[in-house]
Amino acid sequence: MRTDDTSGPAEQPPSTGQEHELPAVVQRLWGDTAPRRRGPKPALSAARIVRAAMELADAEGLAAVSMARVAEAVGYTPMALYRHVSGKEELLILMSDAVAADLPEIPAGADWRAGLEAWTRAQIDMALTRPWMLDLPLSATPPGPNRVRWMDQAFGVMREVDLPADEKLAVVGLLAQHVLGEARVHVETHRAAVHKVRRDAGLPDDTPESELDPAAIHAADPYADFEVVLGRYAGPDTYPHIFASFASWSGPAVDGPGDDDIAFGISVVLDGLEAYLRRRGAITPQSS
């Protein structure tokens, strides 16, 4: 994280045409690379490195993505990576944009609400397919071309919503935020279940999930743990309201929830957004 090229005050020589030189990460993100003039042709490339890193993350999780492992995967020395990527942080940033390469298909005739729902679900699905996405420390991540494409798609869905650009941005931001939250809850619940199954089976913590009984994972209920813990350590005097609420509870409803907790969150947020849009006069009253 040293690597700050300039010694002294960061002053760019005002030499060439483009003033203001964007940060190197941003340039790399947008494929803005100066053409090479001398030296051996590069055999490696940032794209290949990123692809290898993603395959590693898919297979073994983000923790397995170390510079050494990635280098091994592409068949080079660890230090070779640094010719194409400024460091691990940049590699992760490139991954976080590359993961958003595929745009979802959204039905052409969808109105704003159906469109945004499809958009949100697609993004949640993507996160569940590549859970390591949620482990990326995405702080201070500049926007890359793929993420912006998703944004553009959302703006397209809201084509007929009469709202200033910055408010549309806030709407998209809120949905994106919900996506991450929802996905995180699911992924973490799943991980907890896997963890528990491993523990119960007495297997080491690095046993890959593929060697575990899927049925057992599915059956591992985090709420049951919660109840056990409360039962052991707490009582109505310590947590009166929780106990009161659960005392008058007849058990889970007959219609199993299944994936519907995702639907719950989305519908609440969209209902809230609809109220907001109506209040702002951004949609016609009969819309949706």
Partner DNA sequence: CGTTTTAGTGTGCGCCGTAAACAGTATGTG
Partner DNA sequence: CACATACTGTTTACGGCGCACACTAAAACG
Query: Which residues of this protein are in contact with DNA, per CB under 7 A?
Result: 1-3, 34, 36-44, 65-69, 76-80, 82-84, 87-89
Q: What is the CA 79 to chain-centroid distance, rounded?
A: 28
Q: How far is CA 224 from CA 6, 71, 187, 230, in A?
A: 56, 43, 18, 10
| Smallest gap from residue 57 Cβ to DNA (A) | 12
Cα gap 211→231, rounded to integer Å: 32
Partner touching 263 among DNA, a copy of itself, none, CB below 5 to 8 Å by kind: none
Residues 238-257 binding a copy of itself (CB under 8 A) are 238-242, 244-246, 248-250, 252-253
DSSP state of 258: T
Partner touching 59 among a copy of itself, DNA, none, CB below 5 to 8 Å by kind: none
Residues 151-210 binding a copy of itself (CB under 8 A) are 151-153, 155-156, 158-159, 164-166, 168, 170, 173-174, 177-178, 180-182, 184-185, 187-188, 191-192, 195, 199-202, 204-206
- Those residues whose C-beta lies under 8 Å from the C-beta of residue 7, and which sit 6 or more positions away, are none
Partner touching 178 among a copy of itself, DNA, none, CB below 5 to 8 Å by kind: a copy of itself
3-class DSSP state of 225? helix
- Each residue of 219-257: b (16+ CB within 10 Å) or e? ebeeeeeeeeeeeeeeeeeeeeeeeeeeeeeeeeeeeee
Does 15 contact a copy of itself by CB under 8 A?
Answer: no
Residue from 9, 14, 109, 258 touching a copy of itself (CB under 8 A): that is 9
Partner touching 83 among DNA, a copy of itself, none, CB below 5 to 8 Å by kind: DNA
